[in-house]
Amino acid sequence: MVISMATIRGIGLAKVILTRGIEGLGFTAIIMMDGEAIGKVEDYGDGAPANVVIHPDKEDEFTSRMNKYYEAEGITLFSPYIFLEDIRLLGGLEKAFGVKTKTSPGSLHKIKSGILVVGFAKREHDIDDVKYTTYDEVLSVVIYTTDVEHAIEKAKSMTKAKLDKIKTFDSVESFNL
């Protein structure tokens, strides 16, 4: 299996198929860790909870890596599905930078000079008297420039949302967090 270039802590997705159901978009994929298939994710966009299945021998390592990623980001409310959705979104941006993907292995698009700007808004949640913090993605745009400051300012002008956190990526390889 070919793993997407986009990984978080060595975890990625292969054979990603986008789905559309009565409740919106979803996806199915094979979950990979360090190049090895360890499970699957299925979300058909039908309103039912996503199904995430991890091999029992790999579940502790998967959970540990996911937790370390979110702790480093300062996010306290998350789930395996949210983590895998983050990876899928990063993998989908490979096309924005014009690289070969699993879905179009026979073609190599022209590589463009671009900076991906992802903006997040901080949200505070109080669930059963426990306070949680999430950073919800409110902006994701590729600005075709090589100037990071220009890309950030241009991206900010495209939304009215207050951005509490901004991440920039200038290549597909920089997606490996």
* Tens digits of residue pLDDT in 10-64: 888 888 887 877 876 778 889 999 989 999 999 887 878 888 999 999 999 999 9
> Residues 114-125: what's their mean pLDDT?
81
pLDDT tier at 105, thresholds 50, 70, 90? very low
- Per-residue pLDDT at 106: 41
- Per-residue pLDDT at 143: 81
Residue with tokens 């996806």: 27
Look at residue 41 and tell me if it is in a domain. Answer: yes
Query: Which range of residues forms the domain containing residue 32?
Result: 11-175
- Per-residue pLDDT at 172: 59
The number of CA neighbours under 13 Å toward the Cβ of 93 is 26
Look at residue 1 and tell me if it is in a domain. Answer: no
Say whether pLDDT at 4 is over 70. Answer: no
State the pTM of this model: 0.57
Percent of the chain with pLDDT over 90: 18
Q: How far apart are CA 28 and CA 21, in angstroms?
A: 12
> Residues 151-174: what's their mean pLDDT?
83
Distance from the first to the final alpha carbon of the chain = 21
Look at residue 4 and tell me if it is in a domain. Answer: no
What average pLDDT does the structure give for the chain? Answer: 77
Which has more pLDDT, 129 or 33?
A: 33
Q: How far apart are CA 134 and CA 104, in angstroms?
A: 34
> In the chain, how many domains are there?
1
Look at residue 6 and tell me if it is in a domain. Answer: no
Q: What is the 3-state secondary structure (H, E, C) of the chain?
A: CCCCCCCECCEEEEEEEEEEECCEEEEEEEEEECCEEEEEEEECCCCCCCEEEECCCCHHHHHHHHHHHHHHHCCCCCCHHHHHHHHHHHHHCCHHHCCCCCCCCCCCCCCCCCEEEEEEEEEEEEECCEEEEEEEEEEEEEECCCCHHHHHHHHHCCCCCCCCEEEEECCCHHHCC
Residues 46 and 21: beta-carbon distance below 8 Å: yes
Look at residue 40 and tell me if it is in a domain. Answer: yes
> Residues 69-97: what's their mean pLDDT?
71
pLDDT tier at 107, thresholds 50, 70, 90? very low
Q: How far apart are CA 122 and CA 75, in angstroms?
A: 9
pLDDT tier at 104, thresholds 50, 70, 90? very low
Edge-to-edge strands, sheet with 51-54: 11-21, 24-33, 36-43, 51-54
